[in-house]
Amino acid sequence: EVQLLESGGGLVQPGGSLRLSCAAAGFIFNTDAMNWVRQAPGKGLEWVSLISGSGDDTYYADSVKGRFTISRDNSKNTLYLQMNSLRAEDTAIYYCAKGSPFGYWGQGTLVTVSS
Amino acid sequence: QTVVTQEPSFSVSPGGTVTLTCGLSSGSVSTNYYPTWYRQTPGRAPRTLIYSTTSRSSGVPDRFSGSILGNKAALTITGAQTDDESDYYCVLYMGSYWVFGGGTKLTVL
C-alpha cells in the first residue's frame, strides 16, 4: 500500500524559511516522479514542483521559482521542499503526490505565513 | 499564462448523468495534455478518478468515465449518488509543468 506522510509545516513569518518532508513507503521510491501540490484555504489546487525519480530534473511553478527548491533522498525514501522568502500567499496545505500525473496523495501539512 | 477552465458549479439529480468539462483559455485539449481528474471532499486529500484522459484509477467505479468532447476534456458521472457531492478538479500537462483547473463544485439534489 502506497503511503505518503508529510511533515514540517507550521507558522512562519513573512520572509522566513521552512523545509517540508514527505516520507514515502509501499513502492519503489526512486522509480517515480514526485510532486508538491498546494491548496490555499478555501481555494483550488495549485501544482508547485516536480522532481524526476533520479532527482536530476526539477520543475517549478512560476509563483515559487527562485524561492522554493525540491529535492529527494532516495536512500531515505523521502521528498523535500525547501521554502525560502515565504509570503502570505504561500499559506496553504502542502501535499506531496506520487507520479506524473499525481496518482497518490499524502494527507498534507499546513503552512501558515503570518506575522 | 495558460488558464485551465472548469464550470464553477454544477447540479445533478440523484440517478442522473452529469458531464463536467476541462478546457483551455486558448486552444483545444487533446490527449497530449494527459487530462486527469480528481475528486475532493472537505478536509480530505484529493483522490484520483481518471488519468490520461480515459483510464480509471484503481477502485473507481465505472460510473465515472473520461473522454475528449469537442475541444475539452470531460468527466461523465452516470447514476449520480448523493455521496458524489464533492469538488472535482482537472489538471493538464503543459510539457514541463501541470496546471489545475479552478474546480467544479458538484451538488447532488
Beta bridge partners of A29: none
Q: Which residue of B has its CA nearest to A43?
A: B102
Average pLDDT over residues B76-94: 97
pLDDT given for residue A98 in this prediction: 95
The pLDDT-based confidence of B1 (bands split at 50, 70, 90) is confident
- What whole-number distance in Å separates Cα of residue A32 and Cα of residue B35? 19
Chain B partners within 8 Å of A95 (Cβ): 45-46
A-side interface with B, Cβ within 8 Å?
35, 37, 44-47, 50, 59-62, 95, 100-108
pLDDT exceeds 90 at position B2 = no
DSSP, residue by residue, A13-82:
-TT--EEEEEEEESS-GGGS-EEEEEE-TTS-EEEEEEE-SSS--EEE-TTTTTTEEEEEETTTTEEEEE
Instruction: Give the tens place of pLDDT for each residue, B9-65.
Output: 999 999 999 999 999 999 999 999 999 999 999 999 999 999 999 999 999 999 999
Average pLDDT over residues B70-79: 97
pLDDT given for residue A52 in this prediction: 95
pLDDT given for residue A87 in this prediction: 98
Chain B partners within 8 Å of A37 (Cβ): 100
Average pLDDT over residues A46-59: 96
Average pLDDT over residues A25-41: 96
pLDDT exceeds 90 at position B103 = yes
Average pLDDT over residues A52-71: 96
DSSP state of B71: T
pLDDT given for residue B61 in this prediction: 96
- What whole-number distance in Å separates Cα of residue B2 and Cα of residue B98? 10
